[in-house]
Every structure is written in structure tokens, then in C-alpha cells.
Amino acid sequence: MNTADAKRILETALICSTQPLPVRELRVLFEDELGADTIKSLLTELQEDWTQRGLELVSVGSGWRFQSRPEMRDHLDRLHPEKPPRYTRAALETLAIIAYRQPVTRGDMEDIRGVTINSLILKQLEDRNWVEVIGHRETVGRPALFATTRQFLDDLGLASLDQLPAIDSPAQHNALIDALTDASGPDQAALPMDVPDDDGLAVPAQGVASESLDAAVVAAPDPSLAEEFPAESPVDPDPDAAANDGADAPAVPLEKSP
């Protein structure tokens, strides 16, 4: 089989696949006649072949995939004028803490943010398959340890956690949150969390980038990071309660004086 035919087979498989394909699965296309290094070399050539097109071939956490280029987003959004789902800023900050400090417990996150984290925020991140419990800390109560998933890498277009930008100051933290709120679009993975922010405003979620969860740097939570993740309120609001705004709250019966 010549190079052109092999590239055409890879190209077809990747375009038709709904999920990223790792090299080991791509080798199956050729009945393992082509080695992993040869496959990677062909993928690199394909990347160059598509440099002038609206799609690009990228490597993410769970494999290789074709996706639209960022500059195409404004045009593609016109096909889907509805607004994408939103994340709250509290959810984005919680996700950022897990991504950078994993594995962490809920208590670690609260120490860093300086607020009590609503349990619904963690549940939403778990339902999105962006974070998961990977174990328990051997201490009183054995609290759950949270870490990000490969789906997190795929949805944000990262190959590994090493690609996450450095955060050394509050300004860089704010830039990361802004990037998270700007990166997702109709063609990228939707972020289904339409929960009001602490100030009542919804914040759209978005992506950044990183080579295998195994490459994650495990660091103990640092109290100094509280400056990087400034608290907005002493307690994260209950999203459902904020939506109802107390309208359905039962009346409190008044006791008569004797």
C-alpha cells in the first residue's frame, strides 16, 4: 500500500468517526501492518495537507480528530443562532482548581476559593463527565478525591494537562476564566450548565488546552492560591434556589401570643 492510499484511509476514518481515534485503533484499519510510528508520521502529513482548509486535524486526550478551526466559529454560529449553554463563574473556578491541583477534596477547593462550594456544582461537573472521584484521602471521614477526565481534555481540545497555561498571578487566573467562558461553540462540545452566576448573570463556558492524565502534576493544595481564586461571596448559591428566587417558598406560620 502506498502512502497516498494509507493517508486517504486514515482521513476517511477520522472524518467519519464521531469520537477521537487513538493510534492503536487506527492501526486496525491496516490489520496492524503499519507500525505506530508510521501512523503518526502519516497523521503529521495529513495535518500539513489540511493547513489551508476550514478543518484541522488535532491530537486530544483520547486520540486524533478533525475539528473546525477557531476562525470559522463566527460563520458556523449563524447555523445555530441559539445561545450555547452556560456555566457559572463558581463552577468554572471550581473546575480550574480541580484541573490544576488534582487530586483535591471538596475541603481543599473550599480552602482555596474561600467559600463553601455548593454540592450541585460538583454534581454538574461530574454529570458533564469532566471530573470524577478517583479515590479517597486517608484521613478523618475519608473525603473523596476529585480529578479531571479524558473527556475534559477532549472537550477542551487538549492533548494533556501539560498544555494548561501557567497561573502565577490573579491576572492569569482571570485570563483563564475568560478563556473558559469564550472557547466553546456549537461545533465544539457544549457545556450544559445554564445556572445563574453569583450575581445573577450566566457565564458561557469555553476551552483551553493539555498529553495524558498520567502526566498530571499532583500537588498538595496551597493556601496561597486563595489569592488566585478570589471569593465572590461567603457561600456559593444553590442554583435551583436562585432560579426560583424564593417564589415557591412555603409561608412560615406565626405563633399567637398567649
For residue range 124-146, list pLDDT tens digits in order. Answer: 899 988 999 999 999 998 999 99
H or E segment to which residue 127 belongs: helix 119-127
pLDDT value at 13 more than 70? yes
Mean pLDDT of 215-242: 42
**Range with the largest mean pLDDT of 59-63, 134-138, 161-165, 241-245:** 134-138
More confident residue, 76 or 233: 76
pLDDT value at 77 more than 50? yes
Length of the chain: 258
**Residue 46 binned pLDDT confidence (cut-offs 50, 70, 90):** very high
Predicted structure pTM score: 0.54
Predicted local distance difference test score (pLDDT) of residue 169: 67
**Taking the domain 86-237, which CATH number applies?**
1.10.10.10
Decide if 114 contacts 226 (C-beta within 8 A).
yes
Pick the CATH number of 3-68 from 1.10.10.10, 1.20.1630.10, 3.40.30.10, 3.40.47.10: 1.10.10.10
Average pLDDT taken over every residue of the chain: 73
Query: Which range, of 63-67, 122-126, 178-182, 203-207, averages the lowest pLDDT?
Result: 203-207
The two domains 3-68 and 86-237 share their CATH topology (first three levels equal): yes
Mean pLDDT of 207-225: 35
Mean pLDDT of 245-255: 42
Residue 218 and residue 48: Cα distance in Å, rounded? 35
More confident residue, 158 or 133: 133
Mean pLDDT of 90-95: 89
Q: Which residue has the cell 412560615?
A: 252
pLDDT value at 235 more than 80? no
Predicted local distance difference test score (pLDDT) of residue 79: 85
pLDDT value at 189 more than 90? no
Mean pLDDT of 38-60: 92
Residue 67 and residue 158: Cα distance in Å, rounded? 13
- Per-domain residue ranges for the chain? 3-68, 86-237
Decide if 171 contacts 83 (C-beta within 8 A).
no
The three cell numbers locating residue 49: 495537507
Predicted local distance difference test score (pLDDT) of residue 236: 54
Mean pLDDT of 69-97: 83
Predicted local distance difference test score (pLDDT) of residue 28: 92
Predicted local distance difference test score (pLDDT) of residue 180: 64
The three cell numbers locating residue 87: 456555566
Predicted local distance difference test score (pLDDT) of residue 14: 94
Decide if 193 contacts 87 (C-beta within 8 A).
yes
